[in-house]
């Protein structure tokens, strides 16, 4: 559960831990962490929500003529980093919401967008969306200049140990660091592909979970660098092996009650869970541009590598988009398997929640479950089963996003416009580039 700090706790922590600088962190529309670093003498001003920055320099924020933005720190996000300083001059961080000069939440702030959808859930009687993310990453060796190479740090496979898994010490150091920062780590292990790793942390409320993902990625990259490694959350860095996903476990609570659980149901799923799941399936194609936002994301969403590229669900099968893990009671949840770790976590959770809430509001009928391995089904079998595919390219995903009014509403007009503009530029750059594969295939032949 989220930490609870007061202003006084933070001021005391600064003195007790020799904190000299504080990074006021926020996230841009594409999921990149930004920060304004201040000396401790300015902390009081920051905690009074009076710290201003130029929003016109941030991707997807505002034009230069409307650039002034204010950072409102969340005191519960206070953390002292184990890097970036010395014992006598340490660096801490606070995650911030972004506000306009008239004191209103900024429409382009991803954290604010998630909070807006959570308020919609609250109005429907739900107190919390609990989230358990599973971000995966690769570790590559670096060269003499510290630049990443394409050489993997090991030849290990799923759940392998040293000496096969040469990233084990690095991964253990990451876990130790996360523990010191207040994370409750449930598991860490080598993943399917060589050089690929996963660290799972305990579920928490949606905003804290998204904050944790951002801090997690910072920790992974910083610790990897100490080991002469480069950590990447790129979805598919290598051809022919599994890509990195961020399977996301979701459950809606009302106070201490998990509204997804019904002991009398054959699968232990409540009607609320079934409606929510129906909403996820209905809007999956529409929210894929958000949960899988890179050109490269669609190199992962192909059959044969455990990545879900079909819109279906199952209580056991891992090939569909959504799986129902075996735990019941308070642990009853849906596992949405399509998101990848390049996604902006605030936006990804916002659109998935919005999709599920739409299912509940409209009591959408849940399609039948799929227990077959979808990867071995041919086109005719898929059509007979009513199973559609997720978008195959970023361009296709953007077109599906534009056609889905529910997901568009979740993002809001400002964020939607700027996100689509940035991603269409990315797609066009990729589309017009001449790639090495093309030269290998065509240069001599033609």
Q: Where does residue 151 rank: exposed (0-12), middle (13-18), buried (19+ CB within 10 A)?
A: exposed
CA–chain centroid gap for 389, Å, is 22
Q: What CA–CA distance (Å, rounded) separates 296 from 435? A: 13
- At residue 134, the pLDDT reads 92
The CATH fold of domain 7-101: Ubiquitin-like (UB roll) (3.10.20)
Provide the mean pLDDT of the chain: 89
- At residue 315, the pLDDT reads 85
198 is in an annotated binding site: yes
- At residue 337, the pLDDT reads 94
CATH entry, 116-437, from 3.40.50.280, 3.30.1010.10, 3.30.590.10, 3.40.50.300 = 3.30.590.10
Strands 334-336 and 322-323: antiparallel
Q: Which of 7, 254, 318, 431 is catalytic?
A: 318
- Taking a C-beta distance cutoff of 8 angstroms, is the pair 335, 313 a contact? no
Catalytic-residue membership of 399: no
318 is in an annotated binding site: yes
191 is in an annotated binding site: yes
Q: What CA–CA distance (Å, rounded) separates 307 from 401? A: 21
Contacts of 31 (CB under 8 A, 6+ apart): 110, 293, 342, 343, 344, 345, 347
Catalytic-residue membership of 136: yes
Q: CA nearest 254: which of 151, 155, 162, 360? A: 360
- At residue 157, the pLDDT reads 47
Helix (H) or strand (E) run with residue 112 in it:
helix 110-123
Catalytic-residue membership of 160: no
- At residue 434, the pLDDT reads 95
Catalytic-residue membership of 337: yes
Convert the pLDDT of each residue in 153-189 to its tens digit. Answer: 766 544 444 444 456 788 888 989 998 888 888 877 7
Q: Which of 109, 190, 337, 404 is catalytic?
A: 337
- At residue 15, the pLDDT reads 93
Catalytic-residue membership of 134: yes
Catalytic-residue membership of 37: no
- At residue 378, the pLDDT reads 73
pTM greater than 0.85: yes
Contacts of 143 (CB under 8 A, 6+ apart): 149
- At residue 423, the pLDDT reads 96
Tokens of 179: 């523990």
- Taking a C-beta distance cutoff of 8 angstroms, is the pair 131, 343 a contact? no
- At residue 137, the pLDDT reads 92
- At residue 305, the pLDDT reads 67
Provide the residue ranges of all domains of the chain, joining segments of one domain with +.
Answer: 7-101, 116-437
59 is in an annotated binding site: no
- At residue 65, the pLDDT reads 42
Q: Which of 154, 198, 400, 404 is catalytic?
A: 198
The stretches in the chain having pLDDT less than 50 are 1, 64-65, 157-165
Q: What CA–CA distance (Å, rounded) separates 412 from 114? A: 11
Q: Which of 12, 37, 48, 54 is catalytic?
A: 54
In 193-348, at which residue ranges do the beta strands (DSSP E only) sit?
196-201, 204-205, 229-232, 246-254, 257-258, 310-311, 313-314, 322-323, 334-336
Catalytic-residue membership of 409: no
């Amino acid at each position: 559960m989220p930490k609870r700090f007061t202003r006084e706790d933070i001021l005391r922590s600064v003195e007790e831990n020799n904190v000299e600088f504080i990074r006021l962190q926020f996230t841009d529309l594409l999921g990149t962490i930004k920060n304004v670093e201040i000396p401790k003498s300015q902390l009081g001003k920051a905690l009074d929500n009076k710290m201003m920055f130029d929003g016109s320099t941030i991707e997807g924020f505002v034009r230069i003529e409307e650039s002034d933005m204010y950072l409102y720190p969340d005191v519960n996000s206070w953390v002292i980093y184990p890097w970036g300083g010395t014992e006598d001059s340490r660096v801490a961080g606070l995650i911030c919401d972004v506000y306009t000069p008239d004191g209103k939440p900024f429409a382009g702030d991803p954290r604010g967008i998630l909070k807006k959808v959570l308020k919609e859930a609250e109005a429907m009687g739900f107190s919390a969306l609990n989230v358990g993310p599973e971000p995966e990453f690769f570790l590559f060796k670096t060269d003499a200049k510290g630049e990443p190479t394409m050489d993997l740090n090991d030849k290990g496979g799923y759940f392998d140990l040293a000496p096969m898994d040469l990233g084990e010490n690095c991964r253990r150091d990451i876990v130790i660091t996360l523990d010191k920062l207040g994370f409750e780590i449930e598991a860490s292990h080598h993943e399917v592909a060589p050089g690929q790793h996963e660290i799972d942390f305990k579920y928490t409320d949606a905003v804290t979970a998204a904050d944790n993902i951002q801090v997690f990625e910072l920790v992974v990259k910083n610790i990897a660098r100490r080991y002469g490694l480069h950590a990447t959350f790129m979805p598919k860095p290598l051809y022919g092996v599994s890509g990195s996903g961020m399977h996301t476990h979701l459950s809606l609570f009302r106070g201490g009650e998990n509204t997804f659980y019904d002991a009398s149901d054959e699968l232990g799923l409540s009607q609320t869970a079934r409606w929510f799941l129906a909403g996820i399936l209905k809007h999956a194609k529409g929210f894929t541009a958000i949960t899988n936002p890179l050109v490269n994301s669609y190199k992962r969403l192909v059959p044969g590598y455990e990545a879900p590229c079909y819109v279906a669900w199952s209580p056991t099968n891992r090939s569909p988009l959504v799986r129902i893990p075996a735990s019941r009671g308070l642990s009853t949840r849906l596992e949405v398997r399509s998101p990848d770790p390049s996604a902006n976590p605030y936006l990804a959770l916002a659109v998935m929640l919005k999709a599920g809430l739409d299912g509940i509001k409209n009591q959408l009928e849940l399609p039948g479950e799929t227990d077959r391995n979808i990867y071995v089904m041919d086109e005719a079998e898929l059509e007979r089963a009513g199973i559609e595919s997720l978008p195959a390219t970023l361009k296709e995903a953007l077109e599906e996003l534009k056609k889905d009014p529910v997901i568009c509403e979740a993002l809001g007009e400002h964020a939607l416009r700027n996100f689509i503009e940035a991603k269409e530029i990315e797609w066009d750059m990729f589309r017009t580039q001449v790639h090495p594969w093309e030269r290998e295939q065509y240069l001599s032949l033609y």
